[in-house]
Structures are given as C-alpha cells and as structure tokens.
C-alpha cells in the first residue's frame, strides 16, 4: 500500500476533500492523446492528479500535412509519410507503456483534404489507431474546454490557431458558448495570391464577418496554438521578461503591437535563435502576427493571455465528470505533490488551519495560494539543505501547474523560500520578485515565516497542534500550546516565533495550557 492510500484525510474545509484517490479520478490518471494537425502531429500522455495533470510524455513531429492543400486539395505527400511514421511510433510507445488506447483526433487538413479518408483508413490498417476527424466547431469546442481545464472560472474569447484554420469560441460560467471556424491558418494564408496587402485584406474581411456572428467579445482573449506561443516567446524576448513560462503569460494590445514592430525590424534568424523558436515555426510567424494584429483591432479585448492548454487538454476535460471539472486545479496538484513527496502527507491541511488566523481578511483568491503553499511546504525536503530554498522556489515557478498566474507563482515561491531561509538573499531568482508587488512580497514573507515556525510543531496528522491568535490593532501575536506539546517549543522554535512576530510588527506571547 502506498503512503497516499494509507491516509484517512479529514474534511478539508474551504477547498473540499482531495479527489485524486476517487475511482473516477484515478481512471483518468494516465490518458494518451494524439493530435493530428495541419502543421504537426503530437502525442501527449497525461499523468498524475487528474484535475491538474502532469505531462508524462510529450512528443511532436512537424509534418506540415496541410502544406499546399489550397492548391492541390490533397495532403502534403511528404507530410503523409512523416505523419504515418510518427503514428507508428506513437502507437508502439503507447502499447509499450501499457496504455489501453490512444484518443486520436485530426483537424483542418485531414477533414478538408480529398485524400483525408484514405489517410485515416491507411492509419487504421497499419497501426490499428482510429482517427476521429472533427469539424471546425467541434475543434473550437475542444480547444475551449482545454482552456477551462487550466482556468475553471475563465470567461472571454478563445482563439486557437492551427496550420490551416483559426477557431474562435466564447467561454463563461464553465461553459463553451458560440464558436466558429475559419481558413486563417498560416499554411492557408501563405497560399493567398497578391502579397501581404491581399492577405491582410482577406484577414480583415474574415474576422469582421466572424465578429458580426460572434457578437462583442471584449473580455480576456485566450490564445491557443503553437504560433501564438512562439509569438509570446518573442514578446518575452523584447520585454526582457524574467519568467520563461508560457502558460498564463499576459500581454496588452499595445505590447502586441510593439512586438510586431520588433519582429519586423529584426533579423528573423537571430530572433528565433535568441527566443528558442524553431525555424519551421518562425517561418509562420509573419502570417500569424497579421491575424493577431487584426484580431485585437476587431475584438478589442481587455487583455490577452497565452494558454498552453488546447485541444489535447480539451479531450481530457471531455472525459471528466462535472465534480472533477469543478475542482481547483492548483489545490488538486498541490495535494497530489504533497501525497507523493512530503514526509508527512496530510500535515499541510493542519498547517493551513494553523496559519489561517494571520490572514483572516484575505480573499479566497489569496487563501487558495496560502493553502497551496502549506501543501507544498515539504515537497522539496530531499534537496540539499543549502539549496532547499532555491529548489522550492524553482519548483513552484517552473512547475507545470494550471490555475495560477505568474505573480501567484512568485508569491508561493517566496513563501516557500522563507520557509527554509529566514532572510531573503540575492540569488538568480531575484529579478522574478518584481512580478509581485511590495505588499504581496510582505505577505509571502509572513506566510513563509509562519510555515517555518509551524513546521517545528510537526506531529502526527491527528494530534492536537498549537493555535495562533493575531490581534493586528493590539499588535500582538499569541501562540497557545497544550502543555503536552511544550517540549516542541525549544529555543529554535522560539527564535522562529519571534521572527514571525517581527514580520507582523507585533509582540510575541506564548501561553501553555492544560
């Protein structure tokens, strides 16, 4: 029996009971998906906490199945050969890894090509893999569901760019609303005669027609697809952005316009080398940025977010029961990490109860970050003691987590740094602190010092723990301990308690009872 299964978790209050041990969630603990797009063929195997899965395996082959489709009406012959070879490999790997099946979908290129059905039949005959060819609106729906996997409460407009098509879908209240598809993918735009002026006119006309049918969409714009991610990397390069995590990366309309000028004024080979963008992807950027430029002028979103989640994650979301969809992905991922890596799984819940009196006025959005930090407070214990503070900061800021903004990653990372280091030191992460405002940094330090002290009162998960009482107006911090726990409060614990009180600008007081 694993240590995860040995724990009888009690009620978890505000964020509910852990769900990853539920049979319905465990059934989704390892799912394989193949996405056969116009530009690439990719296999992803999801693993871990079903609501916030890790990428157990992720491989992409650039095939360009849709290259030349506008002229010939058929799949790119070389692309067919490469795609078939990739699918042979993926099916072999899936069997070798013990996956019961692969869920395969094909989008614009295969659905539009005259030889699309023939290609699917060949794949079925040679690999046994059944390809589900989805129409444009279904592709839009799946991509939107992928965004909902990462942002359960998201609202706004999804724009998914593939090689041959661009899909739009609206989301709100956890549901997908109106959706449309268009032939604005870079591989299609590349075939338009008349140069850039003709291309831009076509894009303008198409997007205005889509706006008339979709209606006003001035909330957040979520960008899904490889070309958007490549554009975001170039935006990061221009801005000197310190955190190279694409998911939840934000841009404004003016920043998009500045990056378009930046790309136009610089050598593309130099840019792609500096930004880490592949040559094949960089070749499509001029077409994608023409679409993006017109997209923001047409819909005027309040802000723009990059989503690393799309159709593949949408397929996983499709299989989730509603009770799983409704869970907080950050909390579920943090619980899974605690159950897998912490020395005393389950203690994070008690630690959260212990520190909560310090944050009584905190909104739920901040409380979920505090809860996540409590759950993650011990997952880096295997790192060398001299590097635990840096290891946990790197873990949180680089981890493949969803439902968390970049500034929130820094908040949790800073809290965990202070859990292992009383004072903040200048290190290679210092530049990242700027993503969090001064008040947020102060709160992260208080939380970290509370975790650092609370860890000194480590007991069995069902034992009585001390209680904190914080009186901001009196500037007083009380610790109430049962006498049975008195031996835990040694001089080191006393020093950490005093450090926490100093961070709160309060007088410390210890009360032993019973």
Query: Could you say which of 98, 133, 168 is where a domain stops?
Result: 133
Question: What's the whole-model pTM score?
Answer: 0.89
Domain range for 90: 20-133
- Render pLDDT for 376-405 as a digit per residue (tens, 0 to 9): 999 999 999 999 999 999 999 998 888 999
Nearest to 82 by CA among 61, 112, 57: 61
More confident residue, 463 or 76: 76
Interacting residues of 57 by C-beta distance below 8 A, sequence separation 6+: 32, 43, 44, 45, 93, 97
Query: Could you say which of 76, 103, 133 is where a domain stops?
Result: 133
Is residue 200, in this structure, part of any structural domain at all?
A: yes
Q: 338 and 293 in one domain?
A: no
Is residue 52, in this structure, part of any structural domain at all?
A: yes
Given this model, what pLDDT does residue 514 score?
A: 62
Residue 24 reports pLDDT greater than 90: no
Interacting residues of 292 by C-beta distance below 8 A, sequence separation 6+: 223, 228, 231, 256, 260
Given this model, what pLDDT does residue 474 score?
A: 94
Say which CATH number the domain at 50 has: 3.30.420.40
Given this model, what pLDDT does residue 336 score?
A: 87
Residue 127 reports pLDDT greater than 50: yes
295 to each of 149, 217, 253, how far by Cα in Å?
A: 24, 11, 10
Q: 337 and 286 in one domain?
A: no
Residue 364 reports pLDDT greater than 90: yes
> pLDDT band at 49, cuts 50/70/90?
low
Interacting residues of 146 by C-beta distance below 8 A, sequence separation 6+: 224, 307, 309, 310, 311, 312, 313, 314, 317
Query: Could you say which of 100, 133, 166 is where a domain stops?
Result: 133
Q: 290 and 204 in one domain?
A: yes
Given this model, what pLDDT does residue 5 score?
A: 33
Residue 184 reports pLDDT greater than 50: yes
- Render pLDDT for 68-102 as a digit per residue (tens, 0 to 9): 998 999 999 999 999 999 999 999 999 998 888 88
Q: 454 and 340 in one domain?
A: yes
- How far apart CA 82 and CA 131 sit, in angstroms, is 16
Question: How much is the mean pLDDT over the chain?
Answer: 90
Residue 1 reports pLDDT greater than 60: no
Given this model, what pLDDT does residue 360 score?
A: 92
Residue 44 reports pLDDT greater than 60: yes
Place of tokens 């505000």: 14
- How far apart CA 239 and CA 259 sit, in angstroms, is 9
Say which CATH number the domain at 385 has: 1.10.3210.10
Given this model, what pLDDT does residue 482 score?
A: 84
Q: Could you tell me if 299 and 221 are in contact, meaning their C-beta atoms sit under 8 angstroms apart? A: yes
Q: Could you tell me if 243 and 435 are in contact, meaning their C-beta atoms sit under 8 angstroms apart? A: yes
Phi, psi (rounded to 5 degrees) for 355: -90, -15
Given this model, what pLDDT does residue 437 score?
A: 95
> Mean pLDDT, to the nearest integer, of 274-292?
96
Residue 297 reports pLDDT greater than 80: yes
Q: 89 and 101 in one domain?
A: yes
**Number of domains into which the chain is organized:** 3
Q: 300 and 267 in one domain?
A: yes
Q: 406 and 287 in one domain?
A: no
Q: Could you tell me if 210 and 193 are in contact, meaning their C-beta atoms sit under 8 angstroms apart? A: no
Is residue 318, in this structure, part of any structural domain at all?
A: no
* 22 exposure class (CB count in 10 Å sphere: 0-12, 13-18, 19+): middle
DSSP structure class, residue 129? P
Q: 476 and 433 in one domain?
A: yes
Say which CATH number the domain at 246 has: 3.30.420.150
DSSP 410-427: HHHHHHHHHHH-SS----
- How far apart CA 28 and CA 63 sit, in angstroms, is 29
- Render pLDDT for 206-254 as a digit per residue (tens, 0 to 9): 999 999 999 988 899 999 999 999 999 999 999 999 999 999 999 999 9
> Mean pLDDT, to the nearest integer, of 169-196?
94
Is residue 436, in this structure, part of any structural domain at all?
A: yes
Is residue 450, in this structure, part of any structural domain at all?
A: yes
- Render pLDDT for 488-509 as a digit per residue (tens, 0 to 9): 889 999 999 999 999 999 999 9
Longest dimension (CA), the chain: 86
More confident residue, 513 or 68: 68
For residue 181, the surrounding DSSP H or E stretch is strand 175-182
Q: 145 and 293 in one domain?
A: yes
Residue 460 reports pLDDT greater than 60: no
Q: 127 and 142 in one domain?
A: no
> Mean pLDDT, to the nearest integer, of 463-481?
89
Is residue 40, in this structure, part of any structural domain at all?
A: yes
Nearest to 161 by CA among 40, 48, 6: 40
Residue 462 reports pLDDT greater than 60: no
pLDDT-above-90 percentage for the chain: 75
Q: 77 and 174 in one domain?
A: no
- How far apart CA 270 and CA 255 sit, in angstroms, is 21
Is residue 276, in this structure, part of any structural domain at all?
A: yes
Structure tokens at 413: 């990372």
Rg (C-alpha) for the chain, rounded Å, is 25
pLDDT-above-70 percentage for the chain: 92
Is residue 11, in this structure, part of any structural domain at all?
A: no
Given this model, what pLDDT does residue 15 score?
A: 58
Q: 480 and 498 in one domain?
A: yes
């Amino acid at each position: 029996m694993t240590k995860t299964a040995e724990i009888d978790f009690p009620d978890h209050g505000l964020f509910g009971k852990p769900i990853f041990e539920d049979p319905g969630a465990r059934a989704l603990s390892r799912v394989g998906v193949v996405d056969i797009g116009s530009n690439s063929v990719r296999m992803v195997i999801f693993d871990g906490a079903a609501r916030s899965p890790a990428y157990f395996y992720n491989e992409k082959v650039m095939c360009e199945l849709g290259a030349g489709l506008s002229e010939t009406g058929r799949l790119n012959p070389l692309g067919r050969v490469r795609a078939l070879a990739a699918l042979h490999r993926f099916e072999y790997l899936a069997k070798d890894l013990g996956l019961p099946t692969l869920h395969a979908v094909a989008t614009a290129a295969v659905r539009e090509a005259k030889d699309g059905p023939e290609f699917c039949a060949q794949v079925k005959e040679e690999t046994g893999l059944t390809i589900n060819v989805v129409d444009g609106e279904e592709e839009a729906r799946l991509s939107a569901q992928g965004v909902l996997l990462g942002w359960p409460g998201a609202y706004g407009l999804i724009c998914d760019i593939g090689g041959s098509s661009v899909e739009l879908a609206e989301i709100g209240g956890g549901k997908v609303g109106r959706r449309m598809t268009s032939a604005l993918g870079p591989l299609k735009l590349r075939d338009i005669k008349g140069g850039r002026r003709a291309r831009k006119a076509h894009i303008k006309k198409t997007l205005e027609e889509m706006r008339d049918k979709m209606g006003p969409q001035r909330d957040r714009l979520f960008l899904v697809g490889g070309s958007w991610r490549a554009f975001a990397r170039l935006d990061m390069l221009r801005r000197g952005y310190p955190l190279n995590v694409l998911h939840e990366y934000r841009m404004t309309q003016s920043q998009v316009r500045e990056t378009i000028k930046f790309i136009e004024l610089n050598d593309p080979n130099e840019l792609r080398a500096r930004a880490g963008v592949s040559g094949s992807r960089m070749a499509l950027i001029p077409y994608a940025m023409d679409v993006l430029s017109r997209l923001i002028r047409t819909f005027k979103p309040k802000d723009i977010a990059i989503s690393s989640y799309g159709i593949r994650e949408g397929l996983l979301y499709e299989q989730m029961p509603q009770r799983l969809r409704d869970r907080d992905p950050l909390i579920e991922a943090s619980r899974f990490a605690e159950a897998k890596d912490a020395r005393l799984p389950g203690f994070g819940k008690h630690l959260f109860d212990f520190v909560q009196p310090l944050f009584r006025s905190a909104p739920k959005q901040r409380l979920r970050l505090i809860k996540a930090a409590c759950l993650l407070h011990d997952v880096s214990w295997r790192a060398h003691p001299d590097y635990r503070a840096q290891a946990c900061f790197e873990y949180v800021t680089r981890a493949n987590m969803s439902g968390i903004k970049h500034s929130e990653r820094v908040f949790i990372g800073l809290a965990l740094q202070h859990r292992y280091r009383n004072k903040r030191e200048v290190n290679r992460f210092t530049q990242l602190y700027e993503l969090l405002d001064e008040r947020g940094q102060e709160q992260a330090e208080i939380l970290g010092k509370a975790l650092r002290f609370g860890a000194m009162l480590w007991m069995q998960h069902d034992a009585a723990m001390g209680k904190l009482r914080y009186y901001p107006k009196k500037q007083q911090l009380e610790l109430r301990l049962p006498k049975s726990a008195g031996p835990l409060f040694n001089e080191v614990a006393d020093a950490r308690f005093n450090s926490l009180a100093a961070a709160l600008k309060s007088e410390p007081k210890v009360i032993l009872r019973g």
